[in-house]
Chains A and B, each alone.
Chain A
Amino acid sequence: MIEVTNLEKSFGSVTVLKNLNFTIEKGEVFGVVGHSGAGKSTLLRCFNALEGYQGGSIKVMGKEVAALGREGIKTLRRDMGMIFQNFNLMARKNVFDNVAFPLEVWHTPAQERKRRVLELLDLVGLTDKAYQRVQNLSGGQKQRVGIARALALSPSILLCDEATSALDPRTTITILELLENIRKSLDLTIIMVTHQMEVVKRMCNRILLLDGGECQGLGQTEAFFLAPTPNVKTLIEDEFTLIPGGTNIRMWFPREISQNSVITRMARALDVDFAIVGGKLERYVDDVRGFLIINVDDEHLEKVLNYLQEKKLFWEVMDDAS
């Protein structure tokens, strides 16, 4: 769907993206994560030619973006809907007119436009708000308008730039659920730029980790979180206070193991006691995974580590500083 090779992008003398290589497959949810200023938005804007690039190539559906003329860019943008962190709706217009805007740009006849807008509002659950001004809507509702507007031209790719960053956690979930449903029913490819790990874990099949405009990691979401590289770890903050003394071990639960009670079984098998420091069960793309941090007395440490090794569990010894 999108093929990026050796991409280079700079603003004047400042290089913002360098040497990026990856492909995004049709139908997947592709996450782009990284700290603020990493170049995530810039990368996204290169996809639909809101920004140009200086080197390498971006091919969207087989066509080189930089080689497109005015009409080509217009068509490219029709095929890529975009939603934004701050919604970017026209504040003085009502919900209907905002959703109708892309259709007006493309000279859709008024009747057809009306039919389409109502259909879209139904899809995002805002039929009853059609003639309200967007100013008076909640954040979640505004983003629904944004999604409806982005879908107006029936794109095959949806670009999301921090689409849930301005929303509270509960609203974030409803928006993500909406996106997931839409992706399934409309067969969309979604590219999500975000710095929210919950969003990545819940939605994305694959992730590109950007730092300073360079790729710091690319792969399946599971692999990212089950065996995190140091770069990834700095992004996954956790807020557990570790118990001083003994050794803290973080155990990750991949798919096959999470349902079984690993901990209790280990306690029985080894006949040792350990304290549970904390843990988290998380919803990944399609099921529940998690990790647990336990504190083991030094005298039992070797036994425990051997057991973990033997059972092929993912684990790490946490240093006290973290």
Chain B
Amino acid sequence: MPANSNTFMAALQAVQASYLAIRDDLFQALWETVYMVSASTVFSLVFGFLLAVVMITTGPHGLRPNARVYRSIDMAVNLLRSLPFIILIIAIMPLTRLVMGTGIGTTATIMPLTIAAAPFAARLIEGSFLEVDKGVVEAARSFGASRWQTIFMVMLPEAMPALVLNIAVLAITLLGYSAMAGTVGGGGLGDLAYRLGYNRFQTDVTIWCILLLIVLVQVIQSTGNFLYKRLR
């Protein structure tokens, strides 16, 4: 019994020591990740929403079908989505530099993250909008609602529960992307795990990062689920 207890205490001390050693790095990385993910989620939602509104309006059964516009956006969205994120970061580096003033750093990374995620967001939002009962949309139109009113007063509120779940999916995807952002000095948990955990063989750092990432995913998903239940 005492022997067991001793090894347990020793293990605990080791964990504590490892934690204290990298605490500052870890929190710095966690903050960077949260910052990158939340900013790029918001931005990609904004752009994705605009794209989705155009797609919904011009789509085959939209409020004002326009095959040419719809197909162009549809193709652009598919094209952007088929580029691996790591390639995208490098490919749009000049654009990033132009817009953000620098191509390197956490804030600069928000640009490629947004560009990578906006088409995905557009698809998710389009999907949620398409789920809205066609009859409800028709009813709105039959009372003289304009296209704008139909989208914002009927489709958006009706699609809200599905949208919330999809936003969680989007944020989790961006969490995954953000781990690759280290390449351009984006920092974050993925970067920390790579620099210290992989390159310098500090396995405990990798484990801490993984634990934090798991917690983040859980938090995002359960928030999404909770809001979904509230909104339904």
Contacts and interface: CB of A to CB of B under 8 A. Distances in A.
A210 interface: no
Given A82-B139, A84-B139, A104-B153, A92 B144 contact: no
A288 to B, nearest CB: 36
A106 B142 contact: no
Given A77-B144, A92-B231, A105-B145, 10 more contacts: A81-B142, A82-B139, A82-B143, A88-B133, A89-B136, A91-B133, A105-B140, A105-B144, A106-B144, A153-B144
Interface stretch (B36-44, B85-93, B154-162, B190-198): B154-162
A159 B143 CA distance: 12
Interface string B55-91: 0000000000000000000000000000000000000
A86 interface: yes
Given A84-B135, A101-B153, A90 B158 contact: yes
B200 interface: no
Given A82-B142, A101-B143, A153-B143, A88 B136 contact: yes
Nearest to A102: B143
Given A88-B135, A90-B157, A92-B157, A50 B142 contact: yes
B81 to A, nearest CB: 30
7 contacts: A50-B141, A82-B142, A90-B136, A90-B157, A92-B157, A92-B158, A102-B143
A101 B137 CA distance: 12
Given A105-B149, A105-B153, A77 B160 contact: no
B146 to A, nearest CB: 8
Interface residues of B, number: 21
B138 A102 contact: no
Interface residues of A, number: 28
A78 B144 contact: yes
Contacts of B232: 92
Pick the most buried of B136, B143, B145: most chain A CB atoms within 10 A of its CB. Answer: B143
A263 B146 CA distance: 61
A75 B161 CA distance: 33
A170 to B, nearest CB: 24
A74 interface: yes
B142 to A, nearest CB: 4
B140 A101 contact: yes
A32 B159 CA distance: 34
A73 to B, nearest CB: 8
Nearest to B141: A50
A275 B200 CA distance: 103
A309 B135 CA distance: 52
A248 interface: no
B144 A102 contact: yes
A86 B137 CA distance: 13
Nearest to A87: B135
Contacts of B143: 77-78, 81-82, 101-102, 105, 149, 152-153
A88 B145 contact: no
Nearest to B149: A105
Pick the most buried of B135, B139, B157, B160: most chain A CB atoms within 10 A of its CB. Answer: B139
A88 B139 contact: yes
A48 interface: yes
A146 to B, nearest CB: 8
B153 A92 contact: no
A90 B83 CA distance: 39
A103 B149 CA distance: 12
A280 interface: no
A92 to B, nearest CB: 6
Given A86-B135, A105-B149, A105-B153, A92 B160 contact: yes
A233 interface: no
Contacts of A78: 143-144
A146 B144 CA distance: 15
A184 interface: no
A93 interface: yes
Contacts of A87: 135
Given A84-B135, A88-B136, A93 B142 contact: no
A11 to B, nearest CB: 13
B110 to A, nearest CB: 33
Pick the most buried of A84, A87, A88, A149: most chain B CB atoms within 10 A of its CB. Answer: A88
